[in-house]
Each structure stands twice: as C-alpha cells, then as structure tokens.
Amino acid sequence: MPDSTDSIDSDGVNPRKRARTESVSITDDNDWATGDFAIVSSDNIRFRIDRHHLQSASSVFADMLSVLSGGSQEIHLTDETIEQSGTIKRFIPLLLSATLDLTSFKHDLCAILRLVRFLIKYDCQVSINIVKLHLRADTMTETNSSRIWHFIVSSVLDDVELEDKDKLHIEFKDFIEAARKSIANEPKSFIDSA
C-alpha cells in the first residue's frame, strides 16, 4: 500500500518511478486551489478538489483513490490529448455544479470532444448524462452548423436518439466542411482516436 506521499498517474504508475531524472515544474490553478486532493493535468497544472467529489463521480477515480492512503495526494494525468488543463478546468465545474455552458464550446468542437472523451475514459456517467441533456435542450434552437456540431458530439457519446434527430437537418456537404474546419488544427493522434 502506498504511503501518504505517494501519487499515481492515470496509467497507475508512480510518476517518480516513470521519470526519476525528469524535473517538472507544476503550477497551481488559481480557481481550484483548495481541496484535500489534487489532479495534475498533462500540461502540469495542479487542480485541487475534495476527493469525495471524484470518488462519487467516477468509478475509475474511486478505484485510483482507493489505492492511496491519508494526506493530500495527487494523480498525475499523462494523456496529452484529453487530460490537459483546459479539459480539467471544464470537468471540475461540470462535476460540482452539474451544469454545462455549451456556448463556451461553440467555436471549439475539439474542446467538447476532449471533455466527452475524458468523461468516457473515467466513467463519469452522471456528467455524461448532463452533457447529453444539455445537447438535447440546445438542439431545439440551433442553426445547421450547430446541428453538425451536435451530431459529431452525439456520435462520440453514442447517443443514437440525438444523432438521428440531427441527421434529419444536416446536408452531407455541410457536415464534411464543418468537420474539416473543426479538426484542422488538431494533432493527428487526436483525430485518429476520435
């Protein structure tokens, strides 16, 4: 059993064992600076949160936290595609307040896809359902390009009901053009894993 100074990364490995010679500077996030536990994003930003929030939101986080004991510990996330600070900064408010501001994602399809893939990876079922509810509520008033955005996110969420609703309103050429624009600046590894 690890002692109170141990931490693990998202692959279940103690980061000190992974790279003992590597010196990494970790910066504390200004908005999430209190809590009895820390998540360190793949771009080395520390987010503090009370561990019970993570344990209740995710079976994966609950399992990770069960191998740690006492004190203030950290989980170091390593996936440079979906575990960066921008994703964590969106995940924590979703987790704590059960709300999601979809307008913050309207011009950044890849940001919502990273968040959704993070929620799926960590089995955050309640948060996934909240995203689905917000998408369903949002589809009633959206333009054709927004429906394309909804369709792509719904596909990643495997939400057939919302996918079918959106397909009725999308012309194929518009869909392809919007998809190309949305992923143009993303690394190939992100596109291949979507």
Name the band, by pLDDT with cuts 50, 70 and 90, for residue 168.
very low
pLDDT at position 7: 56
Claim: this prediction has a pTM higher than 0.75: no
Q: At what angle do helices 172-183 and 109-121 cross, to 10 degrees?
A: 80
pLDDT tens, residue by residue, 29-49: 999 999 989 999 999 999 999
Q: Which residue has the higher pLDDT, 183 or 129?
A: 129
pLDDT tens, residue by residue, 90-121: 999 999 988 887 777 777 888 889 999 999 99
pLDDT tens, residue by residue, 49-69: 998 999 999 999 998 888 876
pLDDT at position 135: 78
Contact 50, 35 (CB under 8 A): yes
Name the band, by pLDDT with cuts 50, 70 and 90, for residue 156.
confident
Provide, for the chain, the percentages of residues in helix, strand and coil under a 3-state DSSP scheme, each rounded to the nearest 5: 55, 10, 35
Provide the β-strand partners of residue 39: 47, 75
Question: What is the rounded average pLDDT for all residues in the chain?
Answer: 75
Give Cβ neighbours of residue 169 (< 8 Å, ≥ 6 apart): 144, 147
pLDDT at position 140: 59
Helix, strand or coil, per DSSP, at residue 78? coil
For 141, how many CA atoms within 13 A lie in the half-sphere containing its CB?
5
Q: Which residue has the higher pLDDT, 133 or 7?
A: 133
Distances (CA, A) of 131 to 49, 61, 90: 21, 19, 12
Give the residue extent of every domain in the chain. Answer: 1-83, 98-185
